[in-house]
Amino acid sequence: MNRKELSALIRRKRSFLCVGLDPDPERLPKHLKGTADDPLFEFSRRIIDATIDYAVAYKPNTSFFEVHGSKGWQSLEKTIDYLKNHPKGPVFAIADAKRGDIGNTARQYARAFFEHMLFDAITVNPYMGHDCVKPFLQFKDKWAILLGITSNPGALDFQILQPQLPMLLEKMGIKTVYWKKLYEIVMEQSMNWGTYDNMMFVVGATHSDQLSNIRDLVPDHFFLIPGVGAQGGNLEDIAAKAMNKEVGILVNASRSIIYASSGEDFDLQAGKAAKALQMQMNAILEQNQF
Amino acid sequence: MNRKELSALIRRKRSFLCVGLDPDPERLPKHLKGTADDPLFEFSRRIIDATIDYAVAYKPNTSFFEVHGSKGWQSLEKTIDYLKNHPKGPVFAIADAKRGDIGNTARQYARAFFEHMLFDAITVNPYMGHDCVKPFLQFKDKWAILLGITSNPGALDFQILQPQLPMLLEKMGIKTVYWKKLYEIVMEQSMNWGTYDNMMFVVGATHSDQLSNIRDLVPDHFFLIPGVGAQGGNLEDIAAKAMNKEVGILVNASRSIIYASSGEDFDLQAGKAAKALQMQMNAILEQNQF
């Protein structure tokens, strides 16, 4: 799916919601384990059916499939097949795999997710540099979504590193020129490896104080924004700071939707939670005349 | 396998060789594709049989299996089973997967490689911080191998970033105090997340000018060193700079061993290439009285 198609989908569905498919073995509804032949796929399928009216994108996290080995990978293959052939499609499918390796190896990962499975996008870790990202940019209408600043506490370990001297001077009341943080350098440099037609960035909602700056730095690219809901990010605030002239954001919610209930009505409750978010998004889109 | 057992294995086998199992679909011996039921596993099995007298560790890269989807994962499962039950074992098995994700997700990856498959270690990308690494450190006698500085050209994009002011001053001939590069900060901080009993670092052989400094910074941990052979690193030089009092290095060779021949004798030639490296390693171990 290319950028124009994704933007059109957002306008048509009145939603920029991405549903994270994280079928945690410890949180799957108990009744599924007994009855379903393939509980991972059954869970994913029912979540998709219940939420597809309200979501433009889905993001299975590979770890929850990989923990079951090749059998889990079969469930992942079934899930992406189901997604890409859904009668209520199209939807934008993101493999949240956070891969990253040197050139020829990265190419195999790209082929795994773009050719063997028909994902539209894959999350990629940029730490190893350009030759680990560019192989993902060679596929028509496919996307690499680079980790910019992530939503977890550990994001503060390295991603925000910046030279210590200006911070010291600031503490002493001496104004200095602005020195960039690591994630800003990463985003600014890596955005030139591709275009806004084949690259997005992960920008965690938990850093909402940085969001306006980040949007100034990277005006045109889509942001995939996790951290709304269970992790505490506020939707209106995020949209106000991060939207661009083509909407330009996908907001991911996982746990607040897929674990809205652990009973037999889990899909019904997931649908309600997704609808509530979509209605908020619709209001935001209207306010901004999309 | 714990640290003492790994060190004992190195002394007994007179080798600190790790063989990288990268069954590139474009470089697999052609005759295997026609004859073998599972060419990926058949290739890996024959490389293992031919090199196990000379190697202490094996490092399948998951991308070359994943590109074939769940079927490739079956080959990976067969490969790790074969490795861990080899009559000439034990060997240290590393999943070169470069995973990295937030806490609960990281735990699924850890379970995938440490419990579902019986790898001893997995390579981990530290960019997302402590909560993405610590879940890998909760398993007895299992290891996280963190990317320190990698061997590829893109390592120069971010991993060596350092404040610009001291570099400018140095160019002007003014000596400044030493300012750390990103990978040094990463290694120095992350080494405290675990111990030298559950954590190693990837240190690319292509940065041999930095190796002595890196060893001073991280004196006790094992280093997994790729980049010897096809990528040009020199074994004697690396050993001189990076060995510690317990040897403390695993040197990986992939292409120079597994693609030593593309004919029917590929395993024979792989064995010869591995033996040549092991003989060099034996001489180095003797020089250093191990």
**Predicted ipTM of the assembly:** 0.93
Chain A residue with the nearest C-alpha to that of B162: A163
Q: How confident is the model at residue B155 (pLDDT cuts 50, 70, 90)?
A: confident
Our CA angle for B257, B46, B284, nearest 5°, is: 40
Position A206 scores a pLDDT of: 85
Predicted local confidence at residue A167, as pLDDT: 58
State the CB neighbour count (10 A cutoff) for residue B171: 8
Cβ-Cβ contacts under 8 Å, B186 against chain A: 158
- Residue A208 — left, alpha, or beta (φ > 0 → left; ψ -120 to 50 → alpha)? alpha
- Predicted local distance difference test score (pLDDT) of residue B128: 93
What SS3 state is found at A89?
coil
pLDDT band at B76 (very low <50, low <70, confident <90, very high): very high
Instruction: Give per-residue pLDDT as tens, A70-85.
Output: 999 999 999 999 999 9
Nearest chain B CA: its distance from A158 CA (Å): 7
pTM: 0.94
Q: Which fold has domain A3-157+196-287?
A: TIM Barrel (3.20.20)
Query: Is A105's CB within 8 Å of B64's CB?
Result: yes
Residues A130, B158: Cα–Cα separation, whole Å = 10
Q: Which residue has the tokens 């074939």?
A: B68
Q: Which of B126, B158, B185 sits opposite A185 (nearest CB)?
A: B158
What sections of chain B are H helices per DSSP?
3-13, 30-35, 39-51, 63-66, 69-84, 103-111, 155-158, 164-171, 182-190, 211-217, 235-242, 255-258, 266-287
> Could you give the CA distance from residue B136 to residue B13 in angstroms, rounded to a whole number?
28
Q: Which of B78, B84, B98, B272 is catalytic?
A: B98
Which of B64, B78, B105, B111 should we substitute to test contact with A (largest number of A Cβ atoms within 10 Å)? B105
What pLDDT is attached to residue A121? 98
Mean pLDDT of chain B: 92
Active site residue A140: no
**Residue A147 DSSP SS3:** strand
Number of inter-chain CB pairs under 8 A, A vs B = 190
Instruction: Kindly identify which residue of chain B lies nearest to residue A185, measuring between CA atoms.
Output: B158
Q: CA of A27: which chain B residue's CA is closest?
A: B104
Select, from the ranges A34-48, A176-190, A219-233, B262-276, the one with the highest average predicted confidence (pLDDT): B262-276
Query: Min CA distance, A108 vs chain B (Å)?
Result: 5
Question: Which residues, in sequence order, are bridge partners of residue A94?
Answer: A121
**Does position B174 have pLDDT exceeding 70, yes or no?**
no
> B96 vs A227, which has greater pLDDT?
B96
The pLDDT of residue A166: 59
Q: pLDDT band at B264, cuts 50/70/90?
A: very high
The per-residue pLDDT for B177 is 56
pLDDT of residue A163: 57
Q: In this predicted structure, what is the pLDDT of residue B256? A: 93
- Alpha-carbon distance A65 to A22, whole Å? 9
B274 pLDDT band, cuts 50/70/90, is very high
pLDDT above 80 (res B193): yes
Which CATH topology does B3-155+195-287 take? Answer: TIM Barrel (3.20.20)
pLDDT greater at residue A138 or residue B35: A138
Give me the amino acid identity at A14: R
